[in-house]
């Protein structure tokens, strides 16, 4: 009895915690390897070529959307196309560098409304589907753009 209780206390204080620690350690090692083998968002979007196609189709779709096309009636679309490709390239892990104004500066005094934001994001989402971007990559990219809302809307 005495040896059994000693054994039990040794197991619970030494062996089980270290087995648990080893499991945690091994679990922690396995994860980064599987993440490293996953393709980057940039490559899932098809690199610069794929992103350029998405942005081009998006600007066509925006220009057909009566909810927001008035906003872009006098815009320099060639410049906007380049800026968006650089911005999305950089955001998704590509070599591009966005050198334009930050999102607050770029949209201030435009008084963009919540409804216009929704229309813009809906057009973007539909464009990603239209260009057959994989669903997880769609979500990831939309997740990178969504936090910009507070800098863009209502100023
Ligand atoms: C995540 C959402 C958005 C992103 C990433 C974005 C990005 C940009 C960028 C990079 C520029 C160019 C800045 C520069 O170089 O001067 C720009 C300009 C502009 N954006 Fe946005 N924008 C977003 C949402 C919106 C929304 C919702 C609207 C209105 C419905 C809008 C309307 C405009 C307009 C009118 C310009 C000026 C274009 C010009 O005159 O050349 N943007 N945006």
Pair 79, 8 in one domain: no
Q: Say what the pLDDT of residue 36 is.
A: 56
- What's the pTM value of the predicted model, to 2 decimals? 0.82
Q: What is the pLDDT of residues 85-138, one digit of tens each?
A: 999 999 999 999 999 999 999 999 999 999 999 999 999 999 999 999 999 999
CB 112 within 8 A of CB 154: yes
Pair 63, 33 in one domain: no
Ligand 1 within 6 A of 154 CB? Answer: no
Q: In degrees to the nearest 10, what's the CA dihedral of 54, 57, 58, 62?
A: 180
Pair 110, 139 in one domain: yes
Pair 25, 63 in one domain: no
Give the Cα separation of 97 and 74 in Å (integer). Answer: 26
Residue that the structure tokens 């435009």 belong to:
110
Pair 26, 68 in one domain: no
Q: What is the pLDDT of residues 48-68, one digit of tens each?
A: 999 999 999 999 999 999 999
CB 107 within 8 A of CB 152: yes
Over the chain, what is the mean pLDDT?
A: 85
Pair 25, 46 in one domain: no
Pair 1, 57 in one domain: no
Ligand 1: nearest atom to the Cα of 153: 27
């Amino acid at each position: 009895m005495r040896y059994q209780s000693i054994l039990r206390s040794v197991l619970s204080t030494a062996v089980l915690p270290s087995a648990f620690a080893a499991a945690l350690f091994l679990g922690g090692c396995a994860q980064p390897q599987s993440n490293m083998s996953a393709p980057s968002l940039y490559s899932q979007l098809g690199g610069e070529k794929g992103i350029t196609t998405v942005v081009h189709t998006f600007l066509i779709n925006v220009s057909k959307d009566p909810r927001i096309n008035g906003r872009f009636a006098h815009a320099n679309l060639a410049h906007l196309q380049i800026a968006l490709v650089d911005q999305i390239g950089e955001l998704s892990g590509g070599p591009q560098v966005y050198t334009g104004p930050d999102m607050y500066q770029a949209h201030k005094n435009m008084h963009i409304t919540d409804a216009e934001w929704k229309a813009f994001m809906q057009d973007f989402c539909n464009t990603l589907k239209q260009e057959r971007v994989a669903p997880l990559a769609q979500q990831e990219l939309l997740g990178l753009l969504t936090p910009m809302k507070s800098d863009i809307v209502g100023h």
